[in-house]
Amino acid sequence: MILLRSTYSGTPDEVGALREAHLEWLGGLVADGVVIAAGRFEDGSGAGVLGAGSDAAALLKDFDADPYVVGGVASYAEVATFPAAMGGDEIKRLDARELPQEG
Protein backbone atom coordinates (compact mmCIF):
# COMPACT_ATOMS: atom_id res chain seq x y z
CA MET A 1 0.00 0.00 0.00
CA ILE A 2 1.10 3.55 -0.66
CA LEU A 3 0.02 6.50 1.45
CA LEU A 4 0.12 9.90 -0.24
CA ARG A 5 -0.61 13.32 1.14
CA SER A 6 -1.89 16.13 -1.01
CA THR A 7 -1.36 19.70 0.07
CA TYR A 8 -3.54 22.46 -1.33
CA SER A 9 -1.61 25.49 -2.52
CA GLY A 10 -4.59 27.28 -4.05
CA THR A 11 -7.31 29.23 -2.33
CA PRO A 12 -10.49 27.38 -1.35
CA ASP A 13 -12.21 28.99 -4.35
CA GLU A 14 -9.47 27.85 -6.74
CA VAL A 15 -9.60 24.30 -5.37
CA GLY A 16 -13.40 24.34 -5.48
CA ALA A 17 -13.42 25.39 -9.14
CA LEU A 18 -11.51 22.20 -10.05
CA ARG A 19 -13.22 19.85 -7.59
CA GLU A 20 -15.72 18.29 -10.02
CA ALA A 21 -13.01 17.51 -12.59
CA HIS A 22 -10.74 16.19 -9.81
CA LEU A 23 -13.43 13.88 -8.43
CA GLU A 24 -14.25 12.53 -11.89
CA TRP A 25 -10.56 11.86 -12.58
CA LEU A 26 -10.02 10.29 -9.15
CA GLY A 27 -13.10 8.10 -9.64
CA GLY A 28 -11.38 6.58 -12.67
CA LEU A 29 -8.38 5.57 -10.55
CA VAL A 30 -10.70 4.06 -7.95
CA ALA A 31 -12.56 2.12 -10.67
CA ASP A 32 -9.21 0.84 -12.01
CA GLY A 33 -8.12 -0.33 -8.54
CA VAL A 34 -5.19 2.08 -8.44
CA VAL A 35 -6.67 4.11 -5.56
CA ILE A 36 -8.29 2.27 -2.67
CA ALA A 37 -9.47 5.25 -0.63
CA ALA A 38 -9.11 9.03 -0.62
CA GLY A 39 -10.54 11.92 1.30
CA ARG A 40 -10.04 15.51 2.42
CA PHE A 41 -8.46 16.35 5.75
CA GLU A 42 -10.87 17.89 8.22
CA ASP A 43 -8.74 21.05 8.44
CA GLY A 44 -9.07 21.65 4.68
CA SER A 45 -5.30 21.69 4.09
CA GLY A 46 -5.28 18.79 1.64
CA ALA A 47 -6.17 15.12 1.47
CA GLY A 48 -4.93 11.60 2.01
CA VAL A 49 -4.78 8.88 -0.63
CA LEU A 50 -4.29 5.15 -0.14
CA GLY A 51 -2.97 3.54 -3.30
CA ALA A 52 -2.56 -0.11 -4.27
CA GLY A 53 0.76 -1.83 -4.72
CA SER A 54 4.28 -0.78 -3.82
CA ASP A 55 5.45 1.51 -6.64
CA ALA A 56 5.14 4.98 -5.14
CA ALA A 57 6.96 6.64 -8.06
CA ALA A 58 4.43 5.23 -10.53
CA LEU A 59 1.49 6.33 -8.38
CA LEU A 60 2.91 9.84 -8.04
CA LYS A 61 3.36 9.94 -11.84
CA ASP A 62 -0.35 9.03 -12.21
CA PHE A 63 -1.19 11.99 -9.99
CA ASP A 64 0.60 14.41 -12.34
CA ALA A 65 -2.63 14.21 -14.40
CA ASP A 66 -4.86 15.24 -11.47
CA PRO A 67 -6.76 18.41 -12.44
CA TYR A 68 -5.66 19.89 -9.10
CA VAL A 69 -1.99 19.38 -10.04
CA VAL A 70 -2.49 20.50 -13.64
CA GLY A 71 -4.32 23.58 -12.33
CA GLY A 72 -1.52 24.35 -9.88
CA VAL A 73 -3.68 24.17 -6.73
CA ALA A 74 -2.30 20.99 -5.11
CA SER A 75 0.74 18.75 -4.94
CA TYR A 76 1.28 15.17 -3.77
CA ALA A 77 4.04 13.55 -1.74
CA GLU A 78 4.65 10.01 -0.54
CA VAL A 79 4.13 9.57 3.19
CA ALA A 80 4.86 5.84 3.40
CA THR A 81 4.81 2.54 1.55
CA PHE A 82 3.89 -0.55 3.53
CA PRO A 83 2.64 -4.11 2.96
CA ALA A 84 -0.96 -4.77 3.95
CA ALA A 85 -0.13 -7.28 6.68
CA MET A 86 -3.70 -7.04 7.96
CA GLY A 87 -6.85 -6.35 6.02
CA GLY A 88 -9.62 -8.02 4.12
CA ASP A 89 -8.98 -10.26 1.14
CA GLU A 90 -9.66 -7.45 -1.35
CA ILE A 91 -7.10 -5.15 0.31
CA LYS A 92 -4.48 -7.90 0.29
CA ARG A 93 -5.22 -8.66 -3.38
CA LEU A 94 -4.79 -5.01 -4.35
CA ASP A 95 -1.63 -4.70 -2.28
CA ALA A 96 -0.09 -7.77 -3.93
CA ARG A 97 -0.82 -6.72 -7.52
CA GLU A 98 2.48 -4.85 -7.91
CA LEU A 99 4.67 -6.62 -5.37
CA PRO A 100 7.45 -8.84 -6.74
CA GLN A 101 7.01 -12.55 -6.16
CA GLU A 102 9.11 -14.00 -3.34
CA GLY A 103 11.21 -17.04 -3.97
| Domain chopping of the chain, boundaries | 2-96
Class in CATH terms, 2-96: alpha beta
pLDDT score of 95 more than 70: no
Quick: pLDDT tens for 35-51.
Answer: 999 999 999 899 999 99
pLDDT of residue 54: 85
pTM: 0.81
* Among the listed residues 11, 71, 68, the one whose alpha carbon sits nearest the alpha carbon of residue 38: 68
Can you list the pairs that 79-85 forms with residues at least 24 positions away whose Cβ atoms lie under 8 Å?
Answer: 79/3, 79/4, 79/5, 79/48, 80/2, 80/3, 81/1, 81/2, 81/3, 81/54, 81/56, 82/1, 82/3, 83/1, 83/54, 84/1
